[in-house]
Amino acid sequence: MKTLILEGVPGTSMPSFSEFTEEEVATIVGYLKGLSRGVSRQVHVPGDAAKGREVYASNGCPACHRIGDAGSVFGPDLSRVGAARSVEYLRESIVNPSADIPDEYRGVFVVTKDGRTITGVRINEDTFSVQLRDLGQKFCMFQKEELRSVKELDNSLMPPYTTLSDSDLQNLIAYLNSLRGVSQKTDLVDKAKGIK
């Protein structure tokens, strides 16, 4: 990791940071390692991932989430969620999604001067305007002078799935834990090579 920081990665957008001192590099490496503490390692998770995929589909998850090239961009991309998140985090995200809302998916509630209300995910906001993607996936832009209010929501736009049976919940967690981006990358490489 130290070499990557100091020398960068040729042919990518990762530049070299040769001006850092040894102490600064050690601090950065320690910080990066700390980020991975809650990350899931490949471990056996009880449950049936194939049935979990059915639970995912039947509960409308693809309407907000994307896996590989299928689904929506409204919520977080789940293509690598099993590699990026612990099993405990996956469980809590399903039953209590408001516990940790990524900033880029935090809900916004807008009220226009004529009383219309729009809820969505903030795409951008500056001093004069706010842009959001509403629950129907439509991009909306408002001048703030046209609005009564813009309020950031405290709760996640994702509903808590507390009514799932224990087996459905465990199967869903097993499915999400299996998503590590490898099969999607392999599929893309195969498509590029013309392999079906």
Neighbours of 89 (CB within 10 A): 17
The pLDDT of residue 104: 87
Mean pLDDT of 35-47: 65
The pLDDT of residue 195: 46
- How deeply is 135 buried, as exposed, middle or buried, from its count of CB atoms within 10 A (0-12, 13-18, 19+)? middle
In whole angstroms, give the CA distance from residue 100 to residue 159: 13
Domains of the chain: 2-35 (no CATH), 49-100+160-193 (1.10.760.10), 107-152 (2.30.30.100)
Mean pLDDT of 9-37: 78
- For the segment 109-150, what is each residue's pLDDT rounded down to a tens digit? 999 999 999 999 999 999 999 999 998 889 999 999 999 999
- In a 13 Å sphere around the CA of 36, the CA atoms on its Cβ side amount to 7
In whole angstroms, give the CA distance from residue 61 to residue 65: 6
- For the segment 66-106, what is each residue's pLDDT rounded down to a tens digit? 999 999 989 999 999 998 889 999 999 999 999 999 888 99
- In this prediction, residue 23 has a pLDDT band, given cuts at 50, 70 and 90, of confident
3-state secondary structure of 177: helix
Mean pLDDT of 143-161: 95
Assess whether pLDDT exceeds 50 at residue 54: yes
